[in-house]
Structure 1
Amino acid sequence: MGDVEAKSPVRAAGAKALAAYLRDEIASGRLGDGVKLPAERQLSEQFGASRGAVRRVLQDLKDRGLITQAVGSGTFVRPGAAKALPAPEIVIDEIAGTQTSPAELMEARLLIEPLMPKLIARNATSSDFARMMECIERSEAAQSVEEFERWDGELHRTFALATHNSFFLKVLELTNRVREQGEWGRLKRHSLTPERRKEYEAQHRAIVEALRDRDADQAGDVLTEHLRQIQRNLFGM
């Protein structure tokens, strides 16, 4: 049974998505030196890959000198691992030959992100929802705009992961790279009042609540309004 499970198309795709995710996170530095990776069970649930497939992905990274494993302690990023990998591809910017502006980013997000709830409602696991709640709680506890923005971005990336579709993950990776640019940060600092932050936090919880109820239409409506409000607050549109 284990061999059949590991070779099924869905689980094979999950293993590929996991491998790509870990390589990109290490290469970008988001999984920095010494950071502990989630447990095998959590990775299996989050990416829809069998436990055997997860072990093979981790063994490959270990063989390449990117991670270390210690029985009873867990799996950790090896110091200097990012230097052993090529920088993550920035496909859109390479094709366009220029940086994506915050206004262009919001236009694209309004077209793409509302498509995700249907896949999330169908495919998300308990581990996905646990990660969403962790992002919400950390964003609500954030003491600075930068910290709030980090966990806000991580929540939206967790939505992409919960689709269990690698296309959306790639799109949200590019989204977060634009958010790391200085212009986005300047706009967010000027627009993020305490009142608006509370509204964003309430919208985040409403989105996740609808997703946990597997109500894709409600989640899509709240997510769309959330993005439109961000757009209005940033640009006065």
Structure 2
Amino acid sequence: MGDMETKSPIRAVGAKALAAYLQEEIASGRMPDGVKLPAERQLSEQFGASRGAVRRVLQDLKDRGLITQAVGSGTFVRPGAAKTLPAPEIVIDELSATQTSPAELMEARLLIEPLMPRLIARNATSSDFARMTECVERSEAAQTVEEFEHWDGELHRTFALATHNSFFLKILELTNRVREQGEWGRLKRHSLTPERRKEYEAQHRAIVEALRDRDAEKAGEVLTGHLRQIQHNLFGL
């Protein structure tokens, strides 16, 4: 029965998506040296891959010297792993670095991200919600704008993962690449007052709470309002 499940076409796609995701996260530095990977169960649920398929993906990464595993402790990115991987896709890098401005990014996000709650309400797993909560808590505990911005980006990427639709994940990967530009960081540092940060944090919690309740309409409304406020704070629109 387990072999039949592992060979399922859907689960095979999930394993490939997991392998590509982990390699890109390591290569880009978003999973830096020594960071702990999510548990096998969480990866299995997020990517729709069997536990056996997840183990095979991790074993392959381990054999290639990208990760280390310690019984009872977990799986970690091996120091220097990013240097052994090719740079993330150059096409996406060029788009984010030279063709997409922060203002264009916000326009696109307002069109695309509010579409996600309906899929999240239908497809999200308990692991997806646990990751959302972790991102919210870590963003609230962040000591710097850069750290807050990182976990803010991770939360929105977790929303994309929770749709269990690869299109949204690719879009949010591009979004985060644009956010890594110096111009976005400069705008965010100048606009992110303590009061605005508290508002963002409250909005994040409200979005996650609505998604947990499988209330796609409310989550979409709060998410749209959140994005519109960011756009106004950044550009005065």
Which position in structure 1 is the counterpart of 2:189? 189
TM-score by length of 2: 0.94
Count of residue pairs the alignment pairs up: 237
Query: What's the CA shift for 1:42?
Result: 1.8
Structure-1 separation of matches of 2:166 and 2:149: 23
Moved more, 48-57 or 58-67: 58-67
Report Cα offsets for 1:174-212 as digits up to 9, x if no partner.
Answer: 111111111111111111122211211111111111111
Structure-1 separation of matches of 2:70 and 2:141: 32
Structure-1 separation of matches of 2:69 and 2:203: 39
Structure-2 separation of matches of 1:111 and 1:82: 33
Conserved 8 A contact 2:106-2:231: yes
Which position in structure 1 is the counterpart of 2:62? 62
- Going from structure 1 to structure 2, the CA distance change for 1:148 and 1:81 (only over 3 Å counts) comes to same
Conserved 8 A contact 2:33-2:78: yes
Structure-1 separation of matches of 2:151 and 2:178: 15
Matches within 5 A, 1:115-194: 115-194=115-194
Structure-2 separation of matches of 1:143 and 1:70: 30
Structure-2 separation of matches of 1:39 and 1:87: 26
Structure-1 separation of matches of 2:97 and 2:50: 40
Query: What's the CA shift for 1:169?
Result: 1.4
Matches within 5 A, 1:198-209: 198-209=198-209
Structure-1 separation of matches of 2:55 and 2:74: 12
Query: What's the CA shift for 1:115?
Result: 1.3
Which position in structure 1 is the counterpart of 2:232? 232
- Going from structure 1 to structure 2, the CA distance change for 1:142 and 1:71 (only over 3 Å counts) comes to closer
TM-score by length of 1: 0.94
Structure-1 separation of matches of 2:152 and 2:26: 20
Matches within 5 A, 1:44-59: 44-59=44-59
Read off the aligned partner of 1:56 and give its amino acid letter: R
Which position in structure 2 is the counterpart of 1:11? 11
Structure-2 separation of matches of 1:69 and 1:43: 15
- Going from structure 1 to structure 2, the CA distance change for 1:58 and 1:227 (only over 3 Å counts) comes to same
C-alpha RMSD of the superposition: 1.7
Structure-2 separation of matches of 1:135 and 1:100: 26
Conserved 8 A contact 2:188-2:234: yes
Query: What's the CA shift for 1:33?
Result: 1.9
Structure-1 separation of matches of 2:213 and 2:106: 27
Moved >4 Å (runs of 4+): none
Read off the aligned partner of 1:54 and give its amino acid letter: V
Conserved 8 A contact 2:96-2:174: no
Read off the aligned partner of 1:127 and give its amino acid letter: S
Query: What's the CA shift for 1:93?
Result: 4.9
Which position in structure 1 is the counterpart of 2:106? 106
Structure-2 separation of matches of 1:198 and 1:161: 25
Conserved 8 A contact 1:93-1:100: no
Report Cα offsets for 1:27-63 as digits up to 9, x if no partner.
Answer: 0112122222222112112222110110111111122
Percent identity for Structure 1 against Structure 2: 90
Moved more, 97-106 or 114-123: 97-106
Any stretches of 5+ residues in structure 1 without a counterpart?
Answer: none
Report Cα offsets for 1:61-108 as digits up to 9, x if no partner.
Answer: 122221222333322222221111111114345369824210011011
Report Cα offsets for 1:107-151 as digits up to 9, x if no partner.
Answer: 111111111111111111111101111111111122222221111
Any stretches of 5+ residues in structure 2 without a counterpart?
Answer: none
Structure-1 separation of matches of 2:115 and 2:177: 21
- Going from structure 1 to structure 2, the CA distance change for 1:190 and 1:215 (only over 3 Å counts) comes to same
